[in-house]
Structure 1
Amino acid sequence: MTYAGIQMFMDKLKQLLNCNDNPLFNNPSIICERPKFQLLYNELGSMIQTLFIYQHLDLHDIPKVDDLKKRFTDAAEEAEYVGDLFLSGVHLRNYGDFLTFEHFNRSLNLDDVMRTFKSVEMEFMSMRIDSMKVDSTQRPERTLKQPALTPAPIYISRNLLGSKKSLDEIFVGHDHDLELIRDKLVQDQKKLDVVSIVGMGGIGKTTLASKVFNDPFVVYHFHVRVWVTVSQTYDKRGLMIQILESIRAQLDLKKVSAQLDLEKASAELDLEKANAELDLEKASDSKLREMVHKQLMGKRYLIVMDDLWHVETWDNIKLFFPNGYNGSRILLTSRLTEVAKHANSNGFIHHLGYLNKEKSWELLCQKVFHDNEYPEWSIKPGMQIVENCQGLPLAVVVIAGVLSKEAWSKWFWGEIAEKTGSYIVGEQNGCLETLGLSYNHLPLHLRECFLYLGGFPEDYKFELQRLIWLWMAEGFIKQDGNRSLEDIAKGYLMYLIDINLVIAADRRKFDGVVKACKVHDLVRELCLRKAKEERFNILQTERLILSSPFSSFITPPHKPVRMFMNNDIDILEFAHPSTQNLRSILWFSDFRSLSDDIAKCFRSFVLLRVLDIQKCRLNDLPIGMELLVHLRYYAIWTTSAVFPSSICNLWCLQTLIYITKGLLFSSFIEKPMNLQTISGVVFGDGIDNFQNYFPCIKELTCPNYVDDFKSLTYLEKLKLIGFPRRRISTVHDSPKVFVKNRITFPATLKALTLADCCLPWRDMSIIQSIPNLQVLKLHKRAFEGSWWNTDGQKFPHLKFLRLEKLDLKVWETCSTSFLCLRQLEIIECGNLEEIPLEIGDIPTLDLIQIRRCRQSVGESVRRIEEEQHDLGNYDLKINVSD
């Protein structure tokens, strides 16, 4: 258990002692045990003050202090386990489940925990007395080999949150390789050809392929470019969906029209629209194959197949790709030469080599010092460091992450140079040892956050917001002053990205903020190895021997186990008493038979904190959800439109992701829920005062006839949805518009999306009064009217503005209306005549994107670009798609 986990446990105890409106807490069985809970709360607070809060710089036996801290946190974890089992037992008895209740403790037994607390406290006090007896001049001095154990600061660096060029874009030492691969791809050969990049893990295959994929000449040469990641856990259906989604994302009819006749281009558009309306997840495998073939036929395409491991995988997918004798290419990356040869024995195979010493040093300097001069003293230890990395870019990058935190410490560079000298990077084990240096320098409160990433599937792309919610639910985030846990968690993640253990995989275009991240395969292996060493129990079904599923996790029983499910198994195999320490289940594949089975397991999984089954599209909700009283994070995808009232009794719930169509909350909610995030839920007629039921809500989707949001003092994201016009049958059904001085928004609101609200443009004054609004998206029929004048309106902090499918014809504005705007998007506004030239004078504007608008709109944007070039502004980018 981390310090953050202890804090969360104490918050739970405080609620249990002081909350009088929770039926569970007022149960006689719990009331009679409140003195024990109070004693536990007091002891935890006292031990935290003793071991963590006070600075014991006079204690020379640091390892002994660390051992006492570990014994204390283990005892605190056992106390939580005992207490949670007791609460679950009482909860089950409340629901009349006396048979299951017999297997739980009927009384709260914390004797062993309290004895451990007392023993730790006495040993610590004895150390303090011994230290005071030792004359300070006789104490061994702290050598340079053992720096003080002060936690590293966690921060969000400017470079990570908003720079135009992030550190992960630095490309050193492979310029010749890039030119060679690019020339092979675009050479004049009509037959479909395969080009391969082969090399060990961490050598830079994916980085090189990405640079080739985004090379301007390659972008120009190919009509369609598709990137798919294959990896060891290959899924043919998922691969086809990746291809189709990639094609959708880059649809550009301008190129199609330039290469094909207008009639064929029109047919292309009809096909794209038909595919856009088809739910890929519901399509059969044969339909997906047909769609892939149609999308690629007739086009000169480039397919990047990243991280191919098996020849059988290639045999299964090669039939997807038609040979139109038009110069199409497939670019493979693999660690195995035999896979590349099997794909095309006569094709070009490029063996990616190691960086030389000079290029390794250049990469290290760019990562550590960015574009600044490096100190003269850093050359000697730095050269030793890069020599020990033996030209492996991943090792250089990760070591650079360690050094970047102590960039100007001569002693620290010497220390790292000495440590890397004992490792051989040419083999995977040696590389893992080198990467382990970065882990060893992580602050203690970040280690569990990092190890947690190893449980997810290979090449998994972490959505930033979801990962943060999971970390919070797992108890990894340490409270720090008045900052929200989400902000603190973002700082944790940015720190891991900053030291290159985590890769920023996707950034928002208008401000560079990280949206998604991933970890390299070798870093994931490091997570799993360190997790095993430190008994951070990760259970992966892809590595599981079902004959004895929990044999290695039975002792000690209070240690939490987290199960990551990536293949189809019988969940009932895990439903027995030894799984009471199972705290998390995360499912990554669509197994629709799960519903009935998991409902039968809830009595064995009563201590669950995290249940993520949103990949399993269920027809109905699992029965027995009310048993999971400790649940903090719940994600589900269901076709059921009935929201169960039992969820309101889950008093620990922080995050609810409920994906469905047509789900409505109604008036059955009887008491406030302590939810911080509700995603995928629409509020219904029965909740006009939903702020009374969800006071802590941060993200909300609701109909636009609700007009009072000011009391939601935590709300940051709001989506208002009206009724599509085709559903309006009478005057009484017409959408309600904002009433000036009545509709209210909280000052905390940062992102607002409107759709089908049919508002008059004059009501925009209500929106522009939101003081912290950064993102505004106006979708189909959000506003009605042909003229919008923003001259008298100011959006002081707005960074992103999207206008989509509006009937707007004339837009008048001035540059002072949008002082902070970074990105403007205009999509399918068929009546709009032009973009105001004043938009170009906005000093912060980086990008204007125009998609499927009138030709005159594109012409006006190009005039803006020319005018800005004449003024010396070449930072503004223009993207116009017919």
Structure 2
Amino acid sequence: MEVLETCGKGTLSAGEPSTKRSLTSIYDDDEVVGFEKHAEIIMKKLIRGTKERDLISIFGMPGLGKTTLATKVYNNPSIVNYFDVKSLCAVSQAYNRRTLLVEIFKQATNDKIKIKEDDDVADMLRRVLIGKRYLIVLDDIWDVEAWDDLGICFPQGEYGSRVMVTTRIEQVAKHLLHHSDPYSLSFLTSEESWELLEKKVFRGESCPPDLLEAGLQVAQHCKGLPLVVVLIAGMIAKMDKEASLWLKVASDLSSIGLGEQSMKVIQSSYDHLEDHLKPCLLYMALFPEDHKIPVNDLLKLWMAEEFVLNVETENMEEASRNCLSDLLNRSLVMVSGMRINCDVQYCSLHDVVREFCLRKLTEDKYMQLPMPYNPYQHLYSTESRLCIYIHDDLVKQLDHPDYKLDKILMLDFKETNSLEFIAHPKLNTWNNQYWNPLDLLVKLRFVRALHLMDVELPDSWATAIQSLTELRYLALYVRQFELEWISHLHNLQTLQVKSSNKSIRAATLWEMKKLRHVNIDSFPVVWEDINDEGSFEESSTTMLENMKTFHICDIRLDNVNARLWWRFPNLEELSLKVEDEPKFPLFPIPEVHTHLQSVSLMFSFNKVFNSVGWERYFVFPSNIRHLFLFSCFFTEDMVLNIARLKKLESLTLLMGFPDVRLQTFRSCCWDVTNVEFAALKYLGLFFMQMKEWKASEESFPVLEKLVINGVFIKEIPPSFADIPTLTRIELTNCIDSLGVSAMNIKREIEENTGCDSLHVVVVK
């Protein structure tokens, strides 16, 4: 259940800067208690032994940590560097063969080769893997047929390739036997259970003596299941530190049989949740099994469903982050993907937790799963709270000529006002080969959240959405879009639009007073509500005080747009893709945006050589904590503008030049010797056109993590050995001497402090 940081290639998201409050500090445990010996055995099976393709299977009951072990091994630097191609995917009980092969293919090719709808993905995958030493991890296989279905896509050969599978079924593991015997994952010992419990409850501190005996009893009665240990740890960490309370927990655990223990412990953890957290957790179970849920979307969906209104804060975004943080702390939710700066990007539910939540949803009549069509089935009215999860099977059923919408159990449209929320997790659900989703939308007049980004909707979408006046969350992929078509949605909080048309006229934006998050992609915006002097009328009607994040593509940095930000006085995140050369300051009066904490700016790469002098336009608001810059010159003045941000915690620079002398850029030196980034904890340099880097020990006084990808400098400045807070260096696609310099810094720190505090990861 521990979460490991991925050593493979990270995901760089320019359009989504990290959130204001970090969700990463609660998951800072790099080692997995009790798994060290298992990991060592599995890694030997992967690296040693036969040169023929081999299959290594790990089996054991739910909650033993099979996925955690497989992930730990998969991300180990020695494994990362040994295999030419790697892929890790969850198979699960119900899976789509093509979808799974597409995911494996994307990972195997680093998503460099695009897949068409009629492509033979299995054949493409075989061609990619032939002649390479590959590692494929298939997590959570339920039957032999799944392997028979997928295994034929992984070519034989004497290159030392491996396929690793995890399964909860021993007979499946034995049937998959190739050269290596199946590996049975054992329970934690009492000592390991206590070590994990203490680590989770006290976050690196030692247990007080008066709680030691009670804590040992709690650990013993967890019966060696890591899932149970971390769930119990999450629960008692919220209790008063009293031995009597802990002994009561131990007594309750002792009466539970091993087979039912996980469910009982989850029930106990659920019962201890504050009321506002329960629907947040249950809602997550409606996403598909093993689905990596995007955190940004999840928090906005919670807000749309009004799960967080009763939390004691006026800031719904902060309330949502607090909810997720609480669920992570209790280990009911797992981190399944991190951003390059260590913010949580994806989260998921353990399959046992998800199974519990689905049972709870059904018991409490939050949800009724649609049944296959039966013309004789009885229809009955809805209960007071109903959620329908629209998925592929339902879409196929609705496409049946005899299956009508009113055949869905518990959905009586005479009482549609009882439909409080409807979940649309993984939203590649609807595609044109089955059915037009708009036929269903017109029936769901009280729906609050629609996420339809995975398929381009027909042009009739605007008419179908006219009646959905309760929408709080709307994400669309359409050919044509105008804000006036949805300006009547006065409750809308989140708007995400991807469109292929040429421009959007945004005059009606100001009518949508409750808008908090706007992400407009793939087309430019034209502002029409300006006067003859080229500025907005000064009135309250052009103020959106609730606007928190504004992400937009194809925008001009002219006087009109510079004044636009004034209409968002409480803006916290701003992300822009700029196609032209700036002619006006981005923030004419930086002091206006005291709430702005995250800025992401992407400039057209073909305009970068005309960008000399841009730096005078980039005086940033002083409270910015996260800054992402793509494609510009980082001249001395620009660097000083950035260094003036005394609260800046993360800085990501991509495809930039540190020198304006174009004829010598191949020998560019980024010299920050006399510059101090006072609060910077994360620095990412990606494909920067620089050959040398100079810095002093005062340049990055509190830096914790350095990430370099595709930058061909020879060494990291030696002064990095004098940064006491530095804990991690990640190098990808860099020359060998850079890795040598990182290891030299690591050795110097060990010699000076006696501590092995710096972790270096090198990925080719």
TM-score by length of 1: 0.69
Which residue, 445, 454, 458 being the options, matches 1:606?
Answer: 445
One-letter code of the match for 2:107?
S
Q: Partner residue of 1:111?
A: none
Q: Partner residue of 1:161?
A: 25
One-letter code of the match for 2:362?
K
Supply the distance in 2 between the matched residues of 1:357 and 1:854 (Cα, whole angstroms): 46
* Residue 627 (structure 2) pairs with residue 627 (structure 1): no
CA deviations 1:80-133 (Å, max 9, x no partner) are xxxxxxxxxxxxxxxxxxxxxxxxxxxxxxxxxxxxxxxxxxxxxxxxxxxxxx
Q: Partner residue of 2:272?
A: 441
CA shift in 2, pair 1:745/1:540, >3 Å? farther
Whether the aligned pair in 2 keeps the contact of 1:225 and 1:302 (CA below 8 Å) is yes
CA shift in 2, pair 1:368/1:655, >3 Å? same
DSSP-derived class of the 2:446 partner: coil
One-letter code of the match for 1:563?
Y
TM-fit CA distance, 1:436: 0.7
Whether the aligned pair in 2 keeps the contact of 1:227 and 1:304 (CA below 8 Å) is yes
CA shift in 2, pair 1:503/1:874, >3 Å? same
* Residue 525 (structure 2) pairs with residue 684 (structure 1): yes
Supply the distance in 2 between the matched residues of 1:745 and 1:779 (Cα, whole angstroms): 18
TM-fit CA distance, 1:317: 0.5
Whether the aligned pair in 2 keeps the contact of 1:595 and 1:620 (CA below 8 Å) is no
Whether the aligned pair in 1 keeps the contact of 2:455 and 2:477 (CA below 8 Å) is yes
CA deviations 1:2-52 (Å, max 9, x no partner) are xxxxxxxxxxxxxxxxxxxxxxxxxxxxxxxxxxxxxxxxxxxxxxxxxxx
Q: Partner residue of 2:638?
A: 763
* Residue 363 (structure 2) pairs with residue 488 (structure 1): no
Q: Partner residue of 2:60?
A: 199
One-letter code of the match for 1:433?
K
* Residue 363 (structure 2) pairs with residue 533 (structure 1): yes
Which residue, 490, 498, 501 being the options, matches 2:329?
Answer: 498
CA deviations 1:302-345 (Å, max 9, x no partner) are 22211001222111110111111222222221122332233337
DSSP-derived class of the 1:825 partner: strand
Supply the distance in 1 between the matched residues of 2:96 and 2:392 (Cα, whole angstroms): 11
Whether the aligned pair in 2 keeps the contact of 1:737 and 1:757 (CA below 8 Å) is no
Supply the distance in 2 between the matched residues of 1:226 and 1:241 (Cα, whole angstroms): 11
Supply the distance in 1 between the matched residues of 2:90 and 2:447 (Cα, whole angstroms): 32
Supply the distance in 1 between the matched residues of 2:637 and 2:614 (Cα, whole angstroms): 10
TM-fit CA distance, 1:822: 2.2
Supply the distance in 2 between the matched residues of 1:552 and 1:223 (Cα, whole angstroms): 56
Supply the distance in 2 between the matched residues of 1:680 and 1:667 (Cα, whole angstroms): 11
Supply the distance in 1 between the matched residues of 2:40 and 2:688 (Cα, whole angstroms): 45
One-letter code of the match for 1:190?
K
Deviates more, 1:696-705 or 1:545-554: 545-554
Supply the distance in 1 between the matched residues of 2:612 and 2:308 (Cα, whole angstroms): 42
Whether the aligned pair in 2 keeps the contact of 1:587 and 1:614 (CA below 8 Å) is no
Whether the aligned pair in 2 keeps the contact of 1:539 and 1:564 (CA below 8 Å) is no
TM-fit CA distance, 1:405: 2.1
DSSP-derived class of the 1:871 partner: helix
Supply the distance in 2 between the matched residues of 1:716 and 1:591 (Cα, whole angstroms): 36
Whether the aligned pair in 1 keeps the contact of 2:59 and 2:170 (CA below 8 Å) is yes
Q: Partner residue of 1:401?
A: 234
TM-fit CA distance, 1:458: 0.8
CA deviations 1:776-822 (Å, max 9, x no partner) are 22222476524543344332222222333333344433232322322
Supply the distance in 1 between the matched residues of 2:133 and 2:183 (Cα, whole angstroms): 22
CA-atom RMSD in angstroms: 3.7
**Mapping of residues 415-564 of structure 1, within 5 Å:** 415-427=248-260, 431-478=262-309, 484-508=315-339, 510=341, 512-535=342-365, 537-540=366-369, 544-547=371-374, 554-556=381-383, 558-564=384-390
CA shift in 2, pair 1:299/1:176, >3 Å? same
CA shift in 2, pair 1:791/1:552, >3 Å? farther
Which residue, 625, 628, 645 being the options, matches 1:750?
Answer: 625
CA shift in 2, pair 1:650/1:389, >3 Å? same
Deviates more, 1:800-809 or 1:320-329: 800-809
Q: Partner residue of 2:549?
A: none
CA shift in 2, pair 1:334/1:313, >3 Å? same
Supply the distance in 2 between the matched residues of 1:569 and 1:696 (Cα, whole angstroms): 45
Supply the distance in 1 between the matched residues of 2:151 and 2:173 (Cα, whole angstroms): 13
Q: Partner residue of 2:604?
A: 723
Q: Partner residue of 2:10?
A: none
Whether the aligned pair in 2 keeps the contact of 1:778 and 1:804 (CA below 8 Å) is yes
One-letter code of the match for 1:492?
C
TM-fit CA distance, 1:519: 1.4
One-letter code of the match for 2:114?
D
Supply the distance in 1 between the matched residues of 2:239 and 2:310 (Cα, whole angstroms): 26
TM-fit CA distance, 1:586: 0.5
Supply the distance in 2 between the matched residues of 1:438 and 1:810 (Cα, whole angstroms): 53
Gaps of 5+ in 2: 1-19, 407-412, 528-559, 661-667
Which residue, 171, 193, 201 being the options, matches 2:33?
Answer: 171
DSSP-derived class of the 1:426 partner: helix
TM-fit CA distance, 1:421: 3.9
CA shift in 2, pair 1:874/1:362, >3 Å? closer
TM-fit CA distance, 1:195: 2.1
Give the structure with the higher percent helix.
Answer: 1
Supply the distance in 2 between the matched residues of 1:825 and 1:797 (Cα, whole angstroms): 17
Q: Partner residue of 2:154?
A: 321
CA shift in 2, pair 1:716/1:547, >3 Å? farther
* Residue 690 (structure 2) pairs with residue 808 (structure 1): yes
CA shift in 2, pair 1:846/1:509, >3 Å? farther
CA shift in 2, pair 1:210/1:548, >3 Å? farther
Q: Partner residue of 2:102?
A: 241
Supply the distance in 2 between the matched residues of 1:610 and 1:549 (Cα, whole angstroms): 32
One-letter code of the match for 2:449?
V
One-letter code of the match for 1:701?
S
Whether the aligned pair in 2 keeps the contact of 1:302 and 1:328 (CA below 8 Å) is yes
TM-fit CA distance, 1:437: 1.0
TM-score by length of 2: 0.79
Q: Partner residue of 1:836?
A: 717
Q: Partner residue of 2:495?
A: 656
TM-fit CA distance, 1:611: 0.6
One-letter code of the match for 1:616?
V
CA deviations 1:443-488 (Å, max 9, x no partner) are 1221111111211111122222222111111111146566622222
DSSP-derived class of the 1:456 partner: coil
CA shift in 2, pair 1:815/1:626, >3 Å? farther
Supply the distance in 1 between the matched residues of 2:445 and 2:388 (Cα, whole angstroms): 14
CA shift in 2, pair 1:446/1:180, >3 Å? same
Whether the aligned pair in 1 keeps the contact of 2:473 and 2:493 (CA below 8 Å) is yes
**Mapping of residues 295-444 of structure 1, within 5 Å:** 295-344=128-177, 347-357=180-190, 359-369=192-202, 371-374=204-207, 385=218, 388-406=221-239, 408-427=241-260, 431-444=262-275
Which residue, 81, 91, 114 being the options, matches 1:279?
Answer: 114
Which residue, 388, 396, 400 being the options, matches 1:569?
Answer: 396
Supply the distance in 2 between the matched residues of 1:383 and 1:838 (Cα, whole angstroms): 45
Number of positions where the alignment pairs a residue of Structure 1 with one of Structure 2 = 681
Q: Partner residue of 1:708?
A: 586
TM-fit CA distance, 1:402: 1.8
Whether the aligned pair in 1 keeps the contact of 2:21 and 2:321 (CA below 8 Å) is no
CA shift in 2, pair 1:478/1:358, >3 Å? same
Supply the distance in 1 between the matched residues of 2:186 and 2:656 (Cα, whole angstroms): 56
TM-fit CA distance, 1:715: 3.6
Supply the distance in 2 between the matched residues of 1:837 and 1:379 (Cα, whole angstroms): 45
CA shift in 2, pair 1:381/1:307, >3 Å? same
Larger Rg: 1
One-letter code of the match for 1:240?
L
Supply the distance in 1 between the matched residues of 2:703 and 2:379 (Cα, whole angstroms): 55
Supply the distance in 1 between the matched residues of 2:212 and 2:420 (Cα, whole angstroms): 50
Gaps of 5+ in 1: 1-155, 250-274, 729-733
What's the % identity of the aligned pairs? 29
Q: Partner residue of 1:140?
A: none
CA deviations 1:174-225 (Å, max 9, x no partner) are 5554444344334421222222222221122223323433455544544444
